[in-house]
Structure 1
Amino acid sequence: MTIADLPPITPDPVIEAFKKDVDRTLLRENLRKTVDERIDAMQAAVDLAAEMRNATLARRAEVRAARRER
């Protein structure tokens, strides 16, 4: 059996509906990167998320302390 013998692929309407909302330029840009560059970018995103979480927790602690002082 060859590829020519297989039935044609019909597009899935659900996949087609989602494809319109995907920014393919970002996918292509990411695929041009090496594995190490992708890992570095992901690590930077994780570091940023942790920094934001810590800043949020610190700010909440400041607000709670200020409320207790009243």
Structure 2
Amino acid sequence: MRRLIQTASKKALTANLRSLEKLHLIVRRDLSSSVLHVEYEIAELACAPLAALVDQLSQFYKYFTASANY
């Protein structure tokens, strides 16, 4: 994620990921052996609500762009 969001500091990214983990929205997997390696994934409980949110945002975008003549 750090490579994808280059403007975010490591401290800010870590704090946000930890808060999402506490809310059970994401799951953290520590795959470290000798080198620190952590992966995150969307928690199963969060998948359906996030899919619904993305669907609503998509519908809003289609409505907004159609009405704004983009």
TM-score (norm: length of structure 1): 0.43
More helix, by proportion = 1
Q: Whose RCO is larger (CA < 8 A, sep 6+)?
A: 2
Q: Which has the larger radius of gyration?
A: 1
TM-score computed with the length of structure 2 as normaliser = 0.43
Name the structure with the higher strand share: 2
